[in-house]
Chain A
Amino acid sequence: MTENTSSRSRAILIGALLAMAVLFPHIAPYQALASEVLIFALFAVSYDLVLGYAGMLSFGHAAFFGLGAYGTGIFLVKMYPSVPLGLLTGLAVSTLAALFVGYASIRRRGIYFTMVTLAFAQMFYFIAFKWTGLTGGDDGLQGVPRPQLGPLDLGPEINLYYFVLVLVAVSVALIFRVVNSPFGKTLQALRENHNRAMSIGYDVDRFRLIAFIISGFFSGLAGGLYALLLHFVPLSALHWSTSGEVVVMSITGGMGTLVGPILGAVAIILLRDVISNYTESWNLVMGAIFMAAVLGFRGGIMGLLKWRR
């Protein structure tokens, strides 16, 4: 396959995805679900940067997602009703947290790295759980407004969807740039052979930390948008199960492909919603699908598509 045809097929894929995204709220079971899918797609893509490209299995990404949501929500509820300022606050909080967690955990490898990130995420969870005055604790942060954004009324779900779509599309494009830059290639190099990258002279920890922070940044954006979508921040956004969910989305979709996690997020959220309408044992079905993805088609949905071709 030459460089030319691959870039053309990629252009077609991106075009198709965008066209789907524009029409999506009209096909989805309901409009708010379409926004949720996009938000989790962004979360999964930003997570893929860490898992798929840098090869770090973080089990604490709920922290950045949740802190983005709480940062945005608390700003909007308690300080000033402005969407851009709220999102920026959420981004600042989640990025700082990623810097802190990343710095402390990056020196560990494999399962130890995973455990340290999980520990930090649980720490943030319990702070939010206990700090009822600021976060609403177990009741969640209720009543997050969706103030007018210039001429755009974010109230109707469809308007919010297109607002989310623009931000998610730009973010995903930026992550694509990052992945295909020399920086991204370096990440992949040190994922493949850590010692060799180090002996060539790369400052491995610095690269890993930067990737972690970028990932935390975009996870925070996804979280901030989630707060806007829900009109509140559930404590579960910080719960470890949210970290688990994004891992499952990445793996089901196909990690290290960026498009894969998007498909994974779409598939998992839509399936969960639809199946739970028919049976109380929806978890059983989801579990079977995940197991099939891990055992049967190891490249995930993306691997399945490539293999067909």
Chain B
Amino acid sequence: MQRRSSCTSKAALLLALCTVVAWLAGAEAEPVKIAVLTDMSGPYAGITATNVEAAKMAIDDFGGKLLGEPIEYIHRDHQCKPDVANQKSKELYEKEKVDVIFDVPNSAAGLAVSNQAKLHKKLFFSIGSGTTRHSGPDCNRYTFDWAYNDYMLATAVGLWAADNLGKKWFTITADYAWGHDLLKHFSATKKKKGGKLLGNEMVALGASDFSPYILKAMQANPEALVLLNAGKDGINATKQAAEFGLKKKAKIVHALLFIDDCKAAGPEVFADDYVTGAWYWKSDNPGSKEFVEKWQKKFNRPPNWMNAATYSAVTQYLKAVERAGSKDAPAVIKALEGHKFSDLLANPGYIRPEDHMQVGKAYILRAKRPEEIKEPWDYFEIVGSIPPEEAYQDPKDTGCKMDDF
């Protein structure tokens, strides 16, 4: 239908061209084609640009061939702009004819691509964007949410901190959709554990002076200061909290902290802080050591957990195509739904059919003090884990109504 309506509106030459293209497309045996759409030049590039390499590595380790054809691969830079992500996803699905897109950090970009996946009836694995809408009200049959979401980030560290650090908390929240989302989930955890929220401060994104908020937190005298922000905001807030001496009286808990942040700010800034992680490069999950070794050799540094998540998602997709015996979207989706697996990221991992959330244990990491760090980049220590049933929302409560194909 689409092809016919597009051809009638053009000259005869183009009609002929259309026919040739259609014939060529039909005649060729179609290999599986994989795309990574990520931020390679915007604010997240430092964390996510290497996901491209993780996907390539996953394809190589898989053997490079699937269904008797070599696996094709392509990547695009969405520049951390949701509109560009949306347009690029159309290019990938329509012109490049990819079967699946991976990653897409930034929630707005991720949600836009998820909608395009549904419209094009092709797969999308959301890795970089943490919004719970992927496995909640905006869920759809073609989108899978991999490795983590905001609920898990806030809940896991909240549960752990309540049992191990004390029940009197103070939060500093990034004042936009993402921060509000984290605060909502964190407050719910607090209620569940009978904790007490002494106060919350909303801070504009990109603020450089946190001193008024830190002072308020100090007055409230909490057992844990919870930072529901990320990147530069997290670094600034932590530095200033240390300067005011807050770290002598309370622990700092982060919702999101990468080894890259520790490298950038210096390990002394985050010493003895706690954070949720989907994975850490010292993990002993099956295949984890091999992956890290290969990565170290190639890039002279260990991978971050987004890299591991990308590797895992690509691998699990390829295995699902193999199980389904076809790259046909509905067949692959059925092979993924309810699938249990063990790999470098999740041991064990499970893809929930109800909301397409891939769940696994959530790790609690403690940032090491400078004198404890024996190896470059070894900034964290795994101090605990939260089982998936507690770290992720019950699928009955997510608000996801899974649609048909």
Our pick among A30, A232, A273, A276 for the contact of B86 (Cβ within 8 Å) is A232
Taking a contact as CB atoms under 8 Å apart, the answer to whether A143 and B77 are in contact is no
Interface range for A: 35 or more
Q: Is B94 an interface residue (CB 8 A)?
A: yes
Residue A235 interfacial (CB < 8 Å): yes
Q: Smallest Cβ distance from B76 to chain A, in angstroms? A: 7
B91 touches A30 (CB 8 A): yes
Q: Mark A81-113, 1 if CB is under 8 A from B, else 0.
A: 000000000000000000000000000000000
- Within 8 Å of chain A (Cβ to Cβ): is B45? yes
List of B residues within 8 angstroms of A142 by Cβ = 108, 111-112, 115, 133, 138
Determine the chain A residues whose CB is within 8 A of the CB of B79 once the complex forms: 276
A-B contacts, CB under 8 A, total:
108
CB nearest to B7 among chain A residues = A158
Asked if residues B14 and A129 are in contact (CB atoms below 8 Å), the reply is no
B residues near A234, Cβ cutoff 8 Å = 81-83, 86, 108, 112
Distance from A265 Cβ to chain B, minimum over Cβ atoms (Å)? 15
* A140 CA / B112 CA spacing, docked (Å): 9
Are A231 and B91 in contact, CB atoms less than 8 angstroms apart?
no
Q: Are A29 and B77 in contact (CB under 8 A)?
A: no
Nearest residue in A to B86 (C-beta to C-beta)? A230
- Chain A residue nearest to B83 in the complex (CB): A234
- Per DSSP, chain A at the interface is helix
Q: Beta-carbon contacts of B78-103 to A below 8 Å, as 1s and 0s?
A: 01011100110011001100000000
What residues on A are CB-neighbors of B219 within 8 Å?
none
* Shortest CB distance B191–A (Å): 23
Is residue A3 within 8 Å, beta carbon to beta carbon, of the partner chain?
no
What residues on A are CB-neighbors of B115 within 8 Å?
142-143, 231-232
Chain B residues positioned under 8 Å from A180 (CB to CB) = none
Q: Mark contacts of A26-45 with chain B using CB atoms, 8 A cut-off: 1 yes-contact digit, 0 otherwise.
A: 10011111001000000000
Checking A33, A139, A230, A231 against B131 with a beta-carbon cut-off of 8 angstroms, the contacting residue is A139
B41 touches A230 (CB 8 A): no
Taken residue by residue from 130 to 150, chain A's Cβ proximity to chain B (1 for < 8 Å, 0 otherwise) reads as 001000111110110000000
- At the interface, is chain B mostly helix, strand, loop or mixed? helix
With contacts A36-B87, A156-B5, A158-B6 taken as known, whether A232 is within 8 angstroms of B112 at the C-beta atoms is yes
Q: Does B29 contact A (CB under 8 A)?
A: no
Contact of B112 among A138, A158, A226, A231 (CB under 8 A): A231
CB–CB B90/A140 < 8 A: no
Interface centre among B14, B81, B86, by most A CB within 10 Å? B86
Is B40's CB within 8 Å of the partner chain A? yes
Q: Which residues of chain A have C-beta atoms less than 8 A from B176's C-beta?
A: 129, 137-138
Pairs across A and B, CB under 8 Å, 25 listed: A26-B10, A29-B91, A29-B95, A30-B87, A36-B87, A137-B176, A138-B177, A140-B108, A153-B5, A156-B2, A158-B9, A230-B112, A231-B86, A232-B82, A232-B86, A232-B108, A232-B111, A234-B112, A235-B108, A236-B81, A237-B83, A276-B79, A280-B45, A280-B49, A281-B41
Binding site for A on B (CB under 8 A): 2, 5-6, 9-10, 14, 17, 40-41, 45, 49, 76-77, 79, 81-83, 86-87, 90-91, 94-95, 107-108, 111-112, 115-116, 119, 131, 133, 138, 176-178, 180
